[in-house]
């Protein structure tokens, strides 16, 4: 493979990793797909082939699920104490941290994002999530319950038990962070896992699998099957011996996962799309709100499920805010993620580029105006200009649908009640933000917004301790914080007659 000549400054470990076809992790071993097939991943900055990866399908999923079942029921994992499980997760976090540069480079090559962000956001966040969840391993508790049944005395209590074999399907926008959000809590409570990374970005998850073996996770506890959504992903969601499927991705695919899960009524948690309202009131600190609004949409090339893609601005400051966001868009240095001066990279794939451009065309056709941007960048790689659309109407596709690219629609409003109504006028309910100096108004509006997260005078602030998930069609369940324990444990009531 010509990868090292195309990218001469790669770290040696990264070049070596890319130089070999990547296998899947099943039952503690690196294996090829049963079919022997592989697929290619691409460098979004150039469109060139980056790596060859095993193309798992139904049979591979089945092998992985069998390994996960064995590891859940027998061998060292179920015998391990909570503290030992916590220590394994801490060790994995330490290993990941000690390979930070390597992971950052790999993430940027695979996903396209500026390496600056991979280095200070993606990989450190994943490390933090593993550490935070390691702490929960020893803190999953049941309770004793006074009961009033007649005729005898009883002692009743609850046990919180690991749910079993978990299938986890993750997207490409934050490959390592999503892997950590899924793996860390499931492993902390004692589940075993089959992880299916996105076909666009499987590389850091596979490298993480190597570190998990080095950390000492027993065979079969963590399996990683690479492959496509409609084949490997669908087989995992439908597998009759999987106890739970956890998914992050589009609402459309979330509904397919739900359908596939009905066969054995496996538990389902979903973290899906969004069309998040970002509301700027006239009394906001615009020095903070304007860059905040720009980052809310342009961070990660707009490929965030929480992207602040509907910017509601009070009409008295509309022109000033829109102009400020447009100026911020113009200041981005667009380029390959590995270039240290880049702060806006390519979108993840050709398919995504076409999708975002399709939305831009539909918006303009329906009467929207691009104050800045509006096009893809010519030349190789999947680059889209950061775009601010005005003159939009509520019924336009660009206002209603998730674009998942660096495109914001700016909408003027007059009254707080009106903007709350407009903000909630969406099938989604993942996140929202409010910018104002009036703390009463901030909290009143926060209470009325139908969203799983509301930020006040900030945006995209995440923490492993803060529960995250969606209202409405943005999902089922909450990840992170202690809320996530609900997703990976069953409660057993035990009642003894005394
Ligand atoms: P996008 O459309 O933005 O690529 P998806 O929601 O399609 O996002 O992808 C998120 C994850 O879901 C990926 O790992 C993908 O392979 C997987 N996936 C896609 N389609 C299906 C499906 N029908 N069943 C299970 N998983 C799927």
Mean pLDDT of 311-323: 98
- 44, 61, 171, 173: which to mutate for ligand 1, most atoms within 8 A of CB? 171
CB 196 within 8 A of CB 223: no
Given a cut of 90, whether residue 127 has pLDDT beyond it is: yes
> How far are the Cα atoms of 126, 162, 179 from residue 486, in angstroms, in the given order?
21, 10, 18
Q: How confident is the model at residue 7 (pLDDT cuts 50, 70, 90)?
A: low
Phi, psi angles (nearest 5°) of residue 254: -55, -40
CB 206 within 8 A of CB 179: no
User: Distance (Å, rounded) from C-alpha 344 to C-alpha 336?
Assistant: 8
CA of 199 from ligand 1 middle (Å) equals 9
CA of 249 from ligand 1 middle (Å) equals 6
| E-assigned strand segments in 83-126 | none
Picking from 423, 381, 448, 498, the residue whose alpha carbon sits closest to that of residue 43 is 381
- Confidence (pLDDT) at 95: 98
Picking from 21, 73, 67, the residue whose alpha carbon sits closest to that of residue 195 is 67
**Any alpha helices (H) in 312-438, and if so which ranges?**
318-331, 350-365, 397-400, 416-424
Radius of gyration for the chain, computed over Cα atoms and rounded to the nearest angstrom: 23
Sheet holding 310-314, edge to edge: 369-372, 387-390, 407-413, 310-314, 277-280, 431-435, 453-456
Domain ranges of the chain: 3-272+475-494, 277-463
* Secondary structure (3-state) at 153: coil
Query: What atom in ligand 1 is closest to the CA of residue 404?
Result: 3
Pocket of ligand 1 (CB under 6 A): 169-171, 196, 198-199, 228-230, 233-234, 237, 249-250, 253, 256-257
User: Distance (Å, rounded) from C-alpha 307 to C-alpha 325?
Assistant: 14
Percent of the chain with pLDDT over 90: 97
CATH topology for the 3-272+475-494 domain? Aldehyde Dehydrogenase; Chain A, domain 1 (3.40.605)
The predicted-structure confidence for 418-446, as pLDDT tens digits, reads as follows 999 999 999 999 999 999 999 999 999 99
Mean pLDDT of 196-201: 98
CA of 136 from ligand 1 middle (Å) equals 29
Q: How much is the pTM?
A: 0.97
Q: How confident is the model at residue 351 (pLDDT cuts 50, 70, 90)?
A: very high
Cite the active site residues: 271, 305
Residue 333 has a CB neighbour count (10 Å cut-off) of 11
The CATH architecture one would assign to domain 277-463 is 3-Layer(aba) Sandwich (3.40)
Given a cut of 80, whether residue 457 has pLDDT beyond it is: yes
- Confidence (pLDDT) at 103: 98
User: Distance (Å, rounded) from C-alpha 431 to C-alpha 427?
Assistant: 12
- 112, 167, 195, 198: which to mutate for ligand 1, most atoms within 8 A of CB? 198
Q: Is the fold of 3-272+475-494 the same as that of 277-463?
A: no
Q: Using CA positions, which residue lies closest to atom 14 of ligand 1?
A: 198
- Confidence (pLDDT) at 2: 38
CB 52 within 8 A of CB 92: no
- 201, 248, 249: which to mutate for ligand 1, most atoms within 8 A of CB? 249
Mean pLDDT of 95-101: 98
CA of 257 from ligand 1 middle (Å) equals 9
Distance, C-alpha 496 to centroid of its chain: 43
Q: Using CA positions, which residue lies closest to atom 20 of ligand 1?
A: 229
Query: What atom in ligand 1 is closest to the CA of residue 196?
Result: 14
**Any alpha helices (H) in 216-349, and if so which ranges?**
234-238, 251-261, 286-298, 318-331
């Amino acid at each position: 493979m010509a990868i090292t000549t195309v990218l001469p400054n790669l770290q040696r470990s990264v070049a070596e990793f890319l130089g070999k076809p990547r296998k899947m992790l099943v039952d503690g071993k690196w294996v090829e797909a049963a079919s022997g097939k592989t697929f290619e991943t691409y460098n979004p900055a150039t469109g060139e082939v980056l790596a060859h990866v095993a193309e798992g399908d139904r049979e591979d999923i089945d092998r992985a699920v069998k390994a996960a079942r064995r590891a859940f029921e027998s061998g060292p994992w179920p015998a391990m104490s909570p503290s030992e499980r916590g220590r394994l997760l801490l060790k994995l976090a330490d290993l990941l941290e000690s390979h930070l540069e390597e992971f950052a480079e790999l993430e940027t090559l695979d996903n396209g994002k500026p390496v600056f962000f991979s280095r200070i956001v993606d990989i450190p966040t994943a490390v933090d999530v593993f550490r935070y969840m390691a702490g929960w391993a020893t803190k999953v508790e049941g309770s004793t319950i006074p009961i009033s049944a007649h005729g005898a005395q009883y002692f009743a209590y609850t046990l919180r038990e690991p749910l079993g074999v978990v299938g986890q399907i993750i997207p490409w926008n934050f490959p390592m962070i999503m892997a950590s959000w899924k793996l860390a809590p499931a492993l902390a409570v004692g589940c075993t896992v089959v992880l299916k990374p996105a076909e666009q970005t499987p590389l850091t998850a596979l490298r993480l699998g190597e570190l998990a073996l080095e950390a000492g996770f027993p065979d079969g506890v963590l399996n990683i099957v690479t492959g496509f959504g409609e084949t490997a992903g669908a087989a995992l969601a439908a597998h009759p011996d999987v106890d739970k499927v956890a998914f992050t991705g589009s609402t459309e695919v979330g509904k397919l996962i739900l359908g596939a899960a009905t066969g054995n009524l496996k538990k389902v948690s979903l973290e899906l799309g969004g069309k998040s309202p970002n509301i700027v009131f006239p009394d906001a600190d615009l020095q903070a709100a304007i860059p905040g609004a720009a980052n809310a949409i342009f961070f990660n090339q707009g490929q965030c499920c929480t992207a602040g893609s509907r910017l509601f601005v009070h009409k008295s400051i509309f022109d000033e805010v829109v102009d400020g966001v447009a100026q911020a868009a113009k200041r981005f240095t667009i380029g390959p993620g590995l270039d240290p001066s880049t702060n806006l990279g390519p979108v993840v794939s050709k398919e995504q580029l076409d999708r975002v451009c399709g939305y831009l065309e539909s918006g303009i056709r329906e009467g929207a105006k691009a104050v800045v941007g509006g096009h893809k960048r010519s030349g190789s790689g999947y680059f889209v200009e950061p775009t601010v659309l005005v003159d939009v109407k509520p019924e336009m596709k660009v206002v209603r649908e998730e674009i998942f690219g660096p495109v914001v629609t700016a909408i003027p409003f007059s009254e707080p009640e009106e903007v709350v109504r407009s903000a909630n006028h969406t099938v989604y309910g993942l996140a929202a933000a409010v910018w104002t100096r009036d703390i009463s108004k901030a909290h009143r509006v926060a209470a009325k917004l139908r969203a799983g997260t509301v930020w006040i005078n900030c945006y995209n602030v995440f923490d492993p301790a803060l529960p995250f998930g969606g209202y409405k069609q943005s999902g089922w369940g909450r990840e992170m914080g202690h809320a996530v324990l609900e997703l990976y444990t069953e409660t057993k009531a035990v009642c003894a007659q005394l």
